[in-house]
A and B are shown apart, each in its own frame.
Chain A
Amino acid sequence: MSWKLFKLGLTSPENEPRFFPEEKPLASHYDVVIIGGGGHGLACAYYLAKEHGITRVAVLEQGYLGGGNTGRNTTIVRSNYLTSEGVKFYDASVKLWENLSGDLDINLFYSTRGHFTLAHSDDAMRTMRWRAEVNKHHGVDSEVVDRDAIARAVPTMDLDCGGGPAVHGALYHAPGSVVRHDAVAWGYARAAAQRGVEIHQQTAVTDIHTAGGRVTGVATSRGDISCDAVVSMVAGYTPRITDMLDLPTPIEIYPLQACVTEPVKPFLDTIIVSGSLHVYVSQSSRGELVMGSAVDPAVLHSTRSTFEFVEGLADHIVDMFPFAGRLRLLRQWAGMADMTPDFAPIMGTTPVDGFYLDSGWGTWGFKATPISGQTMAATVAAKRNHELIEPFRLGRFADFQLVGEKGAASVGH
């Protein structure tokens, strides 16, 4: 038995420390207001306090901690992107992930499973090799593997996909992992709060005040606050925040859906993604198949579910894992993904002084949680973009300097 468990068993539960402090009134001023109490916002607060000594920070969350896309994604972490900018950024994230349970003293169940992106055509194989070559160049462990290698690693999968399109090969990314997503928000929240950050749930930002082109404060459902900097880390709600500042962005909101089956004994150790079949799937530590697909076809500000999503997903899952036809789908849900034209995030400073944007997370935001928090904290502290996020600046669109991630991320997750 784990020593920690033994200790837990012998101590009175009343003595267990609170994860989160009791609610308290809003102060009239903070140095930094972070809008959004998801993984990104809480991580940013944590790194502001820990690495920059900025502790007069309020995280304002309109709902509950981690209730947005942090709690709605399929928990996959990887760094096998297509562009150098993307690979460097997500690789830095993976390195933070690997030690995060220890850093935050919470077991995030960071489980390194290996990640196969299946290719069902020559075109897809070309893209996989491209990603593998760029990854290797930056020291990221990715390689193109053939059918035999996939068959050895995932013996339960039908590589002919029930009659096609058959799997030609895959991009294998050994560091691919899954994480207990809710715990990420909780761990960052606790660690930030321990360093003096205030976290206010059920507190909606209704307006952002500016004077002379710079941020002076925010209006909230619980009153006004003055502040020097506002960081928007709200994913699917980004356009509502940027509209408060009349700040146009390329962001559009598309629903992204996911679902789980009833938990069964483990039969799938790795993470499987198929762009052609619009499927990604892994088996959680509880034994559920956690599954997702591409974003819905049209803009929508809603977390409604659709039946065609589970129909399409089941169709392809059964092609890949015929026996899994007997598994029961338990629950489906949706999040709102903030998509960008080049499938890369939009981060950093904005034309409004003191207003920082962490957005454009589309379908790939969860895996960036630690590095987004760390680089956005550094950006806020230095008032200029951290070098890792400079390629993701909002201004790239006006310069027609897009990030070429579109080729890889369409169904990457």
Chain B
Amino acid sequence: MKRIDCPEIGPRPIDEFTYGGEVRRPPQAGADTAALADYVFNRAGAPGVLREWWHHDPSGRWFVLERDTRTDTVLRSVPITEVAHAVPTR
């Protein structure tokens, strides 16, 4: 089984995690339908380094990890404050 080598909690088997998908930035308030649909549905589908949500089920914690989707290797853990939006705008 693949291990998620989390920089914060160390290597854990992937079945301890729930995948939360790509981190996407919500559009500004009042954005048009196209921008909204882009946020809701579109994804950075091409291979590369992706910022993703991973929930560690036993500890109940979310992590944002940068993972190379070609090699399945975790490059680093991103502080959630880096992706957070203190004033939600959607």
Contacts and interface: CB of A to CB of B under 8 A. Distances in A.
Given A397-B37, A398-B37, A298 B52 contact: yes
Contact of B46 (A240, A341, A400): A240
A298 B4 CA distance: 12
A302 B46 contact: no
A148 B34 CA distance: 52
A242 interface: yes
Binding site secondary structure of chain A: loop
A240 B47 contact: yes
B42 A249 contact: yes
B1 A302 contact: no
Interface residues of B, number: 26
Contact of A299 (B33, B40, B50): B50
Nearest to B4: A298
Contact of A250 (B18, B33, B42, B69): B42
Contacts of B47: 239-240, 253, 301
Nearest to B38: A248
A304 interface: yes
Nearest to A238: B45
B1 A251 contact: no
B76 interface: no
A156 to B, nearest CB: 31
Interface in A338-367: 338, 341
A220 B69 CA distance: 24
B63 to A, nearest CB: 13
Given A240-B47, A297-B14, A397 B42 contact: yes
Interface in B8-49: 14-15, 18-19, 21-22, 33-34, 37-38, 40-47
Contact of A307 (B1, B19, B22, B52): B1
B70 interface: yes
A350 to B, nearest CB: 13
B41 A250 contact: yes
B2 interface: yes
Contacts of A248: 38, 42
B81 interface: no
B13 to A, nearest CB: 9
Interface in A244-280: 248-253
Contacts of A400: 33, 37
Given A252-B45, A299-B52, A302-B70, A308 B1 contact: yes
A400 B39 CA distance: 12
A300 interface: yes
A242 B45 contact: yes
Interface string A371-413: 0000000000000000000000000011110000000000000
Given A302-B70, A306-B1, A297 B19 contact: yes
A243 interface: yes
Contacts of B59: none
Interface in A199-254: 238-240, 242-243, 248-253
Interface centre among A300, A338, A341 (most CB of B within 10 A): A300
Nearest to A400: B37
A308 B43 CA distance: 27
State the 3 A-B residue pairs at the shortest beta-carbon distance, nearest first. A239-B45, A301-B47, A239-B46
Given A250-B45, A301-B70, A398-B38, 17 more contacts: A240-B47, A242-B45, A243-B45, A249-B43, A250-B41, A250-B42, A253-B45, A297-B19, A299-B19, A299-B50, A299-B69, A300-B72, A301-B69, A307-B1, A338-B45, A398-B34, A400-B37
7 contacts: A238-B45, A250-B45, A251-B43, A252-B43, A302-B72, A306-B1, A307-B1
Interface of A: 238-240, 242-243, 248-253, 297-302, 304, 306-308, 338, 341, 397-400
